[in-house]
Amino acid sequence: MNQKTWPPTKSNSDGLRRFTAFPFIRKQTHLQNRPSENPFFNHSKKITPTTPSSSSNSSCSSSSNQYCYNQDFSQLPYDIILKIAATFSLSNVRASSLVCKSWCDALRPLRESMVFLRWGKRFKHGRGGVKRNLSKALDSFLKGVARGSTLAMVDAGLLYWEMGKREEGIGLYRKAAELGDPAGQCNLGISLLQVNPLDPEEAVKWLYKASVAGHVRAQYQLALTLHKSHGPKRNLQETAKWYLRAAEGGYVRAMYNTALCYSVGEGLMQSHELAKKWMKRAADRGHSKAQLEHGLSLSSLGLKVDFITTRAHIEQDGERMQAVVYLELAARAGEATAHPVKNVILQQMSTFSRDHAMLLVNSWRTLPSSH
């Protein structure tokens, strides 16, 4: 039975019928009629169609492209290049450099900055076969800054901040933030809350920009700043929203605060089930206060009146064992109030259960998080 194919096919010169793909680059003749679609159109000069050649700087690296723009990206002002690519990571710079030769030439300074950034991290942390040397690390970062990388700006700003040179650090954070780097925006916002005089309004502005871009630490810091604010501008719903957003992004402290918001109904609808869920997630990722709270919650279940059936006794012993595990982890992390509750539960457990609980504690590993 003959069936039609979709989308319709087209015959080629060789007689074979193949599907055709949508072109990702418009032909030059189309740009002549509609020059406003070309971001680099020069209204004082007409664009003439050109065919790719091996000697042209703007020739595309892919043989599938039949036409390429006449402009040479490497001749663009470098401040325009930075607005486009300053926040690129190493993988993004590498991928963008493969688009065409002129774009590869334009991104050469940023590729060089990635090399200096890598060496700066090696000197800062003493990795890659080199000794720790903060002076050389800062020098490498600043060379990356000179070539326009916002990643280098953030690392150099952080090193300046750790060395006590806060003004230099804030200056580099601001430069990275203005170029659209979320980490730079986050660090700038946090820094403005720690200098004298404080500037909470501008800090919230930069934290909000980074939060909208998906930076989880900025989302947590924004929620914390809004939570600590007083007066009529305080918005608990907005605070809880950003706590929850950061918690969903894997930020442990935000998970703990989200659990508290659900527990007391502050900014979120009260839900003990959701509070317990987020408290356990924070506890499993090493938050000591969450481990204490979750252990106390489990101990309250384990210390209830005895049940009659054997199955109920086993389930009760399992709750007690879990409570001991979380309380012991909290105690080892410095939560002193975990000791007396843990000791009371241990007295109600068999020797085998106590030994098994301690074995679980000693083999316990934190789940990965984003903080």
Cα 187 to Cα 158: distance, rounded to the nearest angstrom: 8
Long-range residue pairs from 352-356, CB within 8 A, at least 24 positions apart, any chain: 353/317, 353/320, 353/321, 354/324, 356/321
Q: Which residues contact 158 (CB under 8 A, 6 or more apart)?
A: 169, 187
pLDDT tens string for the chain (371 positions)? 554 444 444 444 555 444 444 444 444 444 344 444 333 334 444 434 444 444 444 444 444 343 344 556 667 787 788 888 889 988 998 998 888 888 888 899 999 999 999 999 999 999 988 999 999 999 999 999 999 999 999 999 999 999 999 999 999 999 999 999 999 999 999 999 998 888 889 999 999 999 999 999 999 999 999 998 855 567 899 999 999 999 999 999 999 999 999 999 999 999 999 999 999 999 999 999 999 999 999 887 544 444 444 344 445 567 888 999 999 999 999 999 999 999 999 988 888 888 999 999 999 999 988 77
* Cα dihedral across residues 355, 357, 361, 363: positive or negative: positive
How many Å from the N-terminal Cα to the C-terminal Cα in the chain? 61
Cα angle 360-361-365, degrees, rounded to a multiple of 5: 90
Within 8 A by CB and 6+ apart from 301, the residues are 316, 319, 323
Segment 346-354 long-range contacts (CB within 8 Å, at least 24 positions apart): 348/302, 348/303, 348/320, 349/317, 349/320, 349/321, 349/324, 350/317, 353/317, 353/320, 353/321, 354/324
Stated as kind and residue range, the H or E segment containing 11 is strand 10-11
Instruction: State phi, psi for 18 to the nearest 5 degrees.
Output: -135, 160
Q: 24 is written with which tokens? A: 């990702």
In angstroms, rounded to a whole number, what is the distance separating the alpha carbons of residues 236 and 343?
38
Report helix, strand or coil for 100: strand
* Cα–Cα distance, 68 to 253 (Å, whole number): 50
**pTM recorded for the entire structure:** 0.74
